[in-house]
Structure 1
Amino acid sequence: MRLRTIAFTASAAALFALAGCNSEEEQETVEVPRLVRVVTVVEQTEGRTISLTGTVAAERQVDLAFRVGGRMTERAVNVGDALEAGQFVARLDPVNEQNTLLSAQAGLSAADARLVEAQLDFDRQQHLYQREVVARARLDNASQVLRSAQSAVDDAQARVDLARTRYDDTQLLADSTGSVIAVGAEVGEIVQPGQMVVRIARDDGRDAVFDAPANLMGVVPRYKEIDVALTMSADVTAKGLIREVSPQADATTGTFRVRVGLDNPPAEMRLGSTVTGRLTLGDAAGVVIPSTAMTSANGAPAVWVVDPATSTVSLRPVEVSEHLPSRVVIDAGLQPGEVVVTAGVQALRPGQTVRLPDAQS
Structure 2
Amino acid sequence: MDLPSFPRLRGLARPAWQPYALAIALVSLAGCGHKAPEADAAMPVIAQPAQAADGAVAGRFPGEVHARYEMPLSFRVGGQLLERYADPGERVKQGQALAQLDPADANKQLANAKAALEAAEHRLEFATQQHDRDDAQFKQNLISQLQWQQTQDNYASALAGRDQAKQQYELAQNQLRYTTLVADHEGVITSRQAEVGQVLAAGQQVFGFAWMGEREVYVDVPESRVGGIATGQAAALSLPALPGRAYAAHVREIAPAADAQSHTYLVKLTVDHADPLLQLGMTADVSLQAGKAAVAAVIIPATALFHQGEHPAVWVVNPGDFKLELRPVTVSRYGERDVLLAAGLKAGERIVMQGVHTVSAGEKVTPIAPPHAEDAPQ
Q: CA deviation at 1:265?
A: 2.3
Q: 1:349 to 1:105 in 2, by over 3 A?
A: same
Q: Deviations over 1:119-172 (max 9, x none)?
A: 222222222222222212111111111111111111111111111111111111
Q: CA deviation at 1:41?
A: 4.4
Q: Deviations over 1:270-308 (max 9, x none)?
A: 11111111123245985636564487xxxxx8835399x
Task: Answer whether contact 1:37 1:343 (CA < 8 A) is retained.
Answer: no
Q: CA deviation at 1:353?
A: 10
Which whole-Å CA distance do the structure 2 matches of 1:58 and 1:251 have between them? 24
Q: Which residue of 2 aligns with 1:265?
A: 274
Which whole-Å CA distance do the structure 2 matches of 1:353 and 1:243 have between them? 47
2:257 aligns to what SS in structure 1?
A: coil
Q: Deviations over 1:21-59 (max 9, x none)?
A: xxxxxxx97999999985544534654422111111111
Task: Answer whether contact 2:45 2:366 (CA < 8 A) is retained.
Answer: no
Q: 1:43 to 1:114 in 2, by over 3 A?
A: closer
Which whole-Å CA distance do the structure 2 matches of 1:339 and 1:139 have between them? 103
Q: 1:294 to 1:34 in 2, by over 3 A?
A: farther
Q: Which residue of 1 aligns with 2:346?
A: 331
Q: Which residue of 1 aligns with 2:102?
A: 93
Q: Which residue of 2 aligns with 1:185?
A: 194
188, 209, 225: which one pairs with 2:234? 225
Q: Which residue of 2 aligns with 1:127?
A: 136
Which whole-Å CA distance do the structure 2 matches of 1:260 and 1:323 have between them? 19
78, 87, 90: which one pairs with 1:78? 87
Matched length: 321
Which whole-Å CA distance do the structure 1 matches of 2:318 and 2:147 have between them? 112
1:85 aligns to what SS in structure 2?
A: coil
Q: TM-score, normalised by structure 2?
A: 0.73
Q: Which residue of 2 aligns with 1:205?
A: 214
Find out whether 1:342 has 2:350 as its counterpart.
no
Q: Which residue of 2 aligns with 1:305?
A: 317
Q: Which residue of 2 aligns with 1:15?
A: none
AA partner of residue 89 (structure 2): G
Task: Name whichever of 249-258 and 76-85 sits farther off.
Answer: 249-258
Q: TM-score, normalised by structure 1?
A: 0.76
Gaps of 5+ in 1: 1-27, 296-300
Q: Which residue of 2 aligns with 1:10?
A: none
Q: Which residue of 1 aligns with 2:165?
A: 156
Q: 1:266 to 1:136 in 2, by over 3 A?
A: closer
Which whole-Å CA distance do the structure 2 matches of 1:134 and 1:280 have between them? 89
- Tell me how large the CA RMSD over aligned residues is: 3.8
Task: Answer whether contact 1:319 1:332 (CA < 8 A) is retained.
Answer: no
Q: 1:227 to 1:130 in 2, by over 3 A?
A: same
Q: CA deviation at 1:264?
A: 2.1
Which whole-Å CA distance do the structure 2 matches of 1:287 and 1:171 have between them? 59
Q: 1:73 to 1:304 in 2, by over 3 A?
A: closer
265, 277, 282: which one pairs with 2:286? 277
Q: 1:36 to 1:332 in 2, by over 3 A?
A: same
Which whole-Å CA distance do the structure 1 matches of 2:165 and 2:115 have between them? 9
Task: Answer whether contact 2:235 2:248 (CA < 8 A) is retained.
Answer: yes
Q: Deviations over 1:67-105 (max 9, x none)?
A: 100001011000011111111111111111111111111
Which whole-Å CA distance do the structure 2 matches of 1:209 and 1:100 have between them? 46
Gaps of 5+ in 2: 1-35, 372-378
Find out whether 1:255 has 2:269 as its counterpart.
no
Percent sequence identity is: 24
